[in-house]
Chain A
């Protein structure tokens, strides 16, 4: 009797795993009705898979039946795989019982498109509504927006979901057209925009009327597949930057393409997913969101791709040696944040601590900066007298030779394909 539900879960979890978002933070759904769950504040990763990714949500498809035939997708119509579909009750039972055991923070529900967009979206909405109203579930719900679904359905979905997302799939329109001729970035922009406007509107109402309902309190996100099509890092990050700005997205995810198809338009099965490149893109994303960098400073026509052997912040610093060294005892917080080897936490500690006296090397080390790397870019109370300026290439060599970076020991698994 267990077997059928086990098989369904296996198929529909397997098909959902290429969606990399696992975030469960940023909502404000308190448990005020003595129900189950509380999604206030930061999320929790309840486990990690052997690939090192966080498991915080029960991430499943409602069904992997799909009318589309997108070349990069494992559930594409022409793919000969086992198909399955959950009932509304099954999804609700799984979510409730996993949550009660502290396995998960909530549900991430996506779906293949069966029949049409509205038919699919209507079923997704039915599940989240049942969870929220009948089961009094206050855990986190991340719901996929089905492009093309009616505005009424999207509006209703937004009342129950914490986060909604639609994937851009490919970083550029031309890339998308190549692999999924039936889709376009416009199809994604329209609903993103519709939901964003509703979020803003309900926020305004909420400031006037406290009882106004919540609407997608954790905002929207999107995902791009990296390495399936020949975009440069510049194209990818400029698209990301625009989407952050235009739709106030909470997150953009970059998912290194994992070959799952013999389609000749795509990297062959067995080729390594571009994990280092993916990591560099996330680092760039962080520099944009938390370190005050503009995408243009990191990626531009002169530098269309990120370095693989060093991180983008170091790479920027080496290109801009004229802005260094930075004196940690006098420089602006903003500039300290730009020093390779100093993160947000350490930068804040430095500006607080220096009010009590000039900072020395041992204090900086204890505060937790990556001193070996940072020392080339900073001055401090007892910094040694430096007689000559280093050149960027020399400095890079020194830093790489002293570094214990996980990337240098492994052979580069990323060939330039295009």
Chain B
């Protein structure tokens, strides 16, 4: 077995697939630089990300997989999960080695694993689309920050851009320390240097920064949330299944 170390980027992962073929590799274990702990007894090969190699692998996969599968591949990658990196490598080799259509073989464990991880990432993306709560700042920007399980900002960008086309907004990922800013024309990536650690709680922005009407609407929303509940049907188990507790920090209606 050979150990491949890559830089954690999609380009790097695809380059590793290319290298497998170029080096006529047997079984390969892939690990990202971040998770790599050098071991004296194990030799490793460092993958050097290369556009050209990555593009060739991507194009090769595209010949064998449909558009949905390509998106699933990308979503799985955004999980940043070490096991998924391994699954993606083996999935790619399996797809490239077989005639088109092999993506339908859910009996293959890597095909299934990649597709299931894509589903998980998709769910997290969907949750962010649902649970993000903007606060309007005094300068008219709608601000929210999140700490998603997976790196979903690239996946939610279009959704928010299409939806909130007439307002400026920022969605910031505190965990990965970057965000999206929509300036009414385009979405750009931004990084802030928060001098102090920003609390993940929703109401982290000081009141002085907020639009004077913000308080009213978050209050009305809380009122609405309470009024629309039917106590005779109370079912906390179902409630928590739909909104797991780790997401409550985003939801203004769940704050006391």
Contact = CB atoms under 8 A, between A and B. Distances in A.
B10 interface: no
Nearest to A358: B107
Contact of B223 (A6, A54, A354, A357): A6
B32 interface: no
A51 interface: yes
A401 B84 CA distance: 37
Contacts of B223: 6, 9-10, 13
Nearest to A36: B166
Contact of A101 (B135, B165, B233): B135
B108 interface: yes
A366 B219 contact: no
Nearest to A22: B228
Given A47-B253, A51-B235, A9 B224 contact: yes
A101 B136 contact: yes
Interface in B91-129: 101-102, 104-109, 112, 126, 129
A374 interface: no
Majority secondary structure of chain B interface residues (helix, strand, loop or mixed):
helix
Interface string B4-32: 00000000000000000000000000000
B227 A31 contact: no
Among B109, B218, B221, B235, max chain A CB count under 10 A is at B221
Contact of A50 (B108, B134, B164, B239): B239
Given A17-B228, A51-B239, A349-B106, A44 B136 contact: no
A272 B235 CA distance: 13
B130 A363 contact: no
B246 interface: no
B234 A51 contact: yes
Given A9-B224, A52-B238, A356-B107, A44 B233 contact: no
A102 B112 contact: no
A100 B142 contact: yes
A31 B163 CA distance: 7
B245 interface: no
A352 interface: yes
A418 interface: no
A352 B104 contact: yes
B220 A366 contact: no
Interface string A53-68: 1110011000000000
Given A44-B130, A48-B239, A38 B163 contact: yes
Interface string B214-237: 001111110111011111111111
B37 interface: no
Give 8 nearest A-B pairs by CB, closest first.
Answer: A52-B238, A51-B233, A13-B227, A352-B104, A353-B106, A49-B229, A48-B242, A356-B105
Interface of A: 2, 5-6, 9-10, 13-14, 16-18, 30-31, 34-38, 40, 44-55, 58-59, 94, 97-98, 100-103, 136, 256, 258-259, 272-273, 275, 349-350, 352-357, 359, 363, 366-367, 406
17 contacts: A10-B227, A36-B163, A38-B163, A47-B251, A51-B238, A52-B235, A52-B238, A59-B228, A97-B213, A98-B224, A100-B134, A101-B135, A102-B132, A273-B232, A354-B107, A356-B105, A366-B109
Contacts of A101: 133-136, 142, 217-218, 221
A34 B166 contact: yes
B230 A51 contact: yes
Given A30-B162, A101-B218, A356-B108, 11 more contacts: A13-B224, A16-B228, A36-B167, A48-B243, A50-B239, A59-B228, A102-B133, A349-B106, A353-B106, A356-B104, A363-B106
Among A36, A46, A101, A354, max chain B CB count under 10 A is at A101
Given A44-B126, A48-B242, A14 B104 contact: no
Contacts of B220: 5-6, 9, 94, 98
A273 to B, nearest CB: 6
B107 A14 contact: no
Interface of B: 101-102, 104-109, 112, 126, 129-136, 142, 144, 162-167, 213, 216-221, 223-225, 227-239, 241-243, 251, 253
Given A35-B165, A37-B163, A356-B105, A258 B227 contact: no
Nearest to B126: A44
Nearest to A359: B107
A46 B162 contact: no
Nearest to A15: B227
Contacts of B132: 102
A38 B107 CA distance: 38
B4 to A, nearest CB: 26
B232 A36 contact: no
Given A45-B130, A103-B133, A36 B164 contact: yes
Given A48-B243, A102-B134, A17 B230 contact: yes
Given A34-B165, A367-B112, A55 B225 contact: yes
A100 B131 CA distance: 13
A10 to B, nearest CB: 5
A100 B167 contact: yes
Given A9-B223, A17-B228, A51-B231, A46 B130 contact: yes
Given A58-B224, A356-B108, A44 B129 contact: yes
Contacts of B135: 101
B227 A14 contact: yes
Contacts of A355: 101, 104-105
Nearest to A60: B224
A9 B219 CA distance: 11
Nearest to B102: A356
Among B107, B131, B166, B234, max chain A CB count under 10 A is at B107
B90 to A, nearest CB: 16
A2 B216 contact: yes
